[in-house]
Amino acid sequence: MMLRILNNHPQVMVLNELHFFEQLWSPDDEGKAISKETAIQLASKLLLTQRVGYMTHDQDHTKFYEEATLLVNEINKDPLFAEDVFTFFCNREAALHGKPIVCEKTPQNIFYLKEIFGLYPNSKVINMVRDPRGILLSQKNKWQRRKLGGHYMTQKEAFRLRINYHPLTLSKLWNAAVNAALKFNNDPRVLSIRFEDLLNDPQLTLQKICKHIEVDFDVNMLNITQESSSIEKDSKQIGFKKERADNWRLGGLNITERWICQNTCRENMLKYNYQPESISPNILLLLYYYISFPVKITLALLMNLNRMKNIFETLKRRMN
């Protein structure tokens, strides 16, 4: 949603989720020189994700080798670092669209704020927080995007997303993401907003965002299509659907999933004024979720190995 909102601003170019931090770069890579060939390979992968997509059938980045070579030659720097390639790529894409501000919105970036601010001390961060029960509902059904308009998604990707879902895993990841952002709670470069506030009063919330990134509010930011939902088909209807803020209340999550989420996330939920329900779990279902947790998290880890450049670094940040 934020991609479509900010891309409607005349000054902002929002890139696809590039997954540079964590998948293509780890903190150990900072300041390490790379060869020209490695730089070209990196640039071609970034070009593929930006031009074709991250979950598509076509993942042959070599088709962008020629453009990647030109890009690396334009950098004209020796020694060359991976972060140089990423920075130049982002700025180049924004320039190609005639926009002075570039935005990269991979959710996992929240775990790398220290490194991001180290590389880009003048950057601004918009931290979107959502009720974890809404996150659970979204992630539980995300694998069905292929049927709802996400025709780009492969069957393998849909299977991976289905394997990834477990109420305890997602609840712990939500806590980890919130805790990572809270470390920068007093940093003026970080603005935290609630997804629900954006839906309920989009203009006021977007005015706050524009003030934070130091651009004027543009009314065209409100004119977004209703796409990318995991529970509704894509629609060309313009505007915000307020009911999506509490769609987890309408079904899709059983009472035990909601209880696990609240029991795991209660402290951080209250910090963002998300009120827990007064509910009790189904004991048999609760037992099933806890017994299945080690199996599901192991399968999810195996399905996501190729998305982590440094598995130990990734797990350390996600388990924080």
pLDDT by residue (tens digit) across 234-284?
667 787 888 788 889 988 999 999 999 999 999 999 999 999 999 999 999
Q: Which residues pair with 129 in a beta bridge?
A: 194
What is the C-alpha to C-alpha distance for residues 312 and 318, in angstroms, rounded to an integer?
10
Minimum mean pLDDT among 48-52, 95-99, 135-139, 309-313: which range?
309-313
Q: Which residues pair with 125 in a beta bridge?
A: 190
Model confidence at 82, pLDDT cuts 50, 70, 90, reads: very high
- Reading the block at residue 23, the tokens are 């998948």
pTM for the model: 0.89
Which domains does the chain possess? 2-318 (3.40.50)
pLDDT mean across residues, the chain: 90
DSSP state of 128: E
Contact 22, 116 (CB under 8 A): no
DSSP state of 34: E
∠ CA 212-189-100, nearest 5°, is 60
Cα→Cα distances 93→64, 86, 206, 244, Å:
14, 11, 24, 32
Alpha helices in the chain (DSSP H): 2-7, 36-51, 65-75, 82-96, 113-119, 132-141, 145-148, 155-164, 167-182, 195-200, 202-213, 255-271, 283-303, 311-318
What is the C-alpha to C-alpha distance for residues 260 and 233, in angstroms, rounded to an integer?
28
Model confidence at 229, pLDDT cuts 50, 70, 90, reads: low
What is the C-alpha to C-alpha distance for residues 126 and 112, in angstroms, rounded to an integer?
14
How many CB atoms sit inside 10 A of residue 179's CB? Answer: 14
pLDDT at 308: 81
